[in-house]
Amino acid sequence: MKARIPVVALALLLVASGCSAGSSASVASGPDTLSVGFTAEPASFDFTHADGAAIPQALLYNVYEGLVKLDASGHVVPLLAKSWTISPDRKTYDFQLQPGVKFSNGAPFTASDVKFSLQRVKTDWTISVKSAMDVVDHVDAVSPDHARVVLSKPSNGWLFSLTSRIGAMFSPTGVGDLANKPVGTGPYEVAARRRGDSIVLQENPAYWGRKPAYRTVVLKYIADPTALDNALLSNGIDVISSLTSADSIPQFQGDNRFTVVQGTTNSEVTLAFNNKRAPLNDTRVRQALTYAIDRKAVLDLVFSGRGTLIGSMVPPTDPWYEDLSKVYPYDPAKARQLLAQAGVKNLDLRLRIPNLPYAVSAAQVVQSQLTEVGVRTTIETLDFPAVWLKQVFTDHDYDLSIVQHVEARDITTFGKPSYYWGYDSRRVQQLLAEADSGTTEQQVADMKQVARQLNTDAAADWLFLYPNVIVAKDKVTGFAQNQVSESFDLTGLRPR
């Protein structure tokens, strides 16, 4: 007992001194430091071997740069390539590179690094997105500031993919330990990482472009949405990169310490129909279900009405966007009529959803609305990602499912009959292929037709487009409203 008393006293003293050390519990101190909160933490820094959105979100455009980048309105714009030309047969791309660019390890960036990086996707990457590089036939370093890429067939999708992680430029001298030591040409370098807590980015002093306004950015990883909100409310962070529930928006809007920025994403929350399985292989049944669901009501419940009703697999930031959200107005009578026409009675469907909040809330509305037109649904909640991926996505063991499709231009998945939609349309496949190889104008025209065809066939029910809601301290500005690239782009952020 005698020994314990001083220990206790010491602890109390330390606790007390901790309390009086300062009244603000701020991690981010100083005007040139910024702290941004995210929900999903990168597994490693190596997006050539580990999948998941969190790694490019942190590193792309901030630490790694590509030849081109996707701006907030969805346009492909120059980055490490000053400009580029496309040959008349649309197979040869000539990129003129920015001069004077250096990797963070000091190595100069030249056309041979372009050749090295693009070829490496085919040979060394193990994740599935690497297939976007399959269309590349060969790469030539014509001169240090001129790289030429020759495709085996024309592909608009390829240039667009270059704005994603597969377009990231690496140095042969900087790929020794990708999982721990990223070496890129971007405005930031990785200075420190605490697994399960944070990643610290530090300004790259030799950056070729405009210097970022914040010299240090702390990326804080907080999986629990409430804890993330609390961190901002208690000065632990300066920005919430993306709010996952609308419930907490009012408390930030009503507080003049914060600003709320709202825009769009690429993330279609979709009610998937198993197009291969009877009776959902009947277009009339799918159309009936689409009429039966009040998507506005779903959006109101899931995200307080924030978000966009779209009606097809196209977000407004894609050039071929059209508002198709009103083609199937909420009409239970019409739904019943179509079901009767299709000769479907006592329909009982399995709605197998991931155990994620948006899916669970949306499923409740969908279930009750389908009940009104005489369709019984059993909701089964599956552990995401593991069980959902295996049973619904891989084994196609479902009738209905609800999931967010976050990838850019993932409308192309409707061109693969083996994809879990089970949607098989020769016309759509042909149009997608034509759009990929045609001119920009042809691409837009063809893609519009694809979207309309999917809508006509009711290939799925696009419940809504997930909103991009950023909450930040009032002093931070420069956010891109729309989250359309894979990156959480820090380069435009600045103090007010």
Site residues (vs other proteins, CB under 8 A):
1, 4, 7-8, 11-12, 14-15, 17-19, 21, 23-25, 27, 41, 43-44, 46, 49-52, 126-129, 131, 179, 194-198, 220-224, 226-227, 230-231, 233-236, 383-387, 389-391, 393-394
**Closest distance to other proteins from the beta carbon of 472 (Å):** 17
Give the β-pairing of 68-70 and 81-86.
unpaired
Cβ-based nearer residue to other proteins, 80 or 237: 237
Sign (positive or negative) of CA dihedral 80, 83, 87, 88: positive
Cβ-based nearer residue to other proteins, 323 or 383: 383
Q: Could you tell me which of 414, 244, 392 has the C-alpha nearest to residue 313?
A: 414
Cβ-based nearer residue to other proteins, 342 or 406: 406
Per-position b or e across 69-103, b if 16+ CB within 10 A of its CB? bbbbebebeebbbeebebeeebbbbbbbbbeebeb
Question: Residue 454 is encoded by which pair of tokens?
Answer: 């999917």
Rg (the chain; Cα; Å): 25
**Closest distance to other proteins from the beta carbon of 228 (Å):** 9
**Closest distance to other proteins from the beta carbon of 129 (Å):** 6
Cβ-based nearer residue to other proteins, 231 or 451: 231
Stretch (H or E) spanning 83: strand 81-86
In sequence order, the 6+-apart residues with CB closer than 8 A to the CB of 309 are 295, 296, 299, 325, 464, 465
Cβ atoms within 10 Å, residue 356: 17
DSSP-assigned beta bridge partners for residue 403: 270
**Closest distance to other proteins from the beta carbon of 171 (Å):** 21
End-to-end distance of the chain based on CA atoms, in angstroms? 57
**Closest distance to other proteins from the beta carbon of 16 (Å):** 10
Dist CA 295 CA 118 (whole Å): 42
Cβ-based nearer residue to other proteins, 28 or 451: 28
Residue 123, judged by CB atoms within 10 A of its CB (0-12, 13-18, 19+), counts as: exposed
Cβ-based nearer residue to other proteins, 52 or 209: 52
Cβ-based nearer residue to other proteins, 142 or 223: 223
**Closest distance to other proteins from the beta carbon of 193 (Å):** 11
Cβ-based nearer residue to other proteins, 88 or 386: 386
**Closest distance to other proteins from the beta carbon of 78 (Å):** 28
Compute CA 256 distance to the chain's CA centroid, rounded to the nearest angstrom: 29
**Closest distance to other proteins from the beta carbon of 109 (Å):** 27
**Closest distance to other proteins from the beta carbon of 468 (Å):** 21
**Closest distance to other proteins from the beta carbon of 238 (Å):** 14
The amino acid that residue 251 corresponds to is Q
For residue 294, the 8-state DSSP code is: -
Sign (positive or negative) of CA dihedral 155, 160, 166, 172: positive
Dist CA 84 CA 163 (whole Å): 14
Q: Could you tell me which of 206, 170, 173 has the C-alpha nearest to residue 188?
A: 206
Q: Could you tell me which of 44, 69, 182 has the C-alpha nearest to residue 490?
A: 69
Cβ-based nearer residue to other proteins, 207 or 466: 466
Cβ-based nearer residue to other proteins, 173 or 251: 251
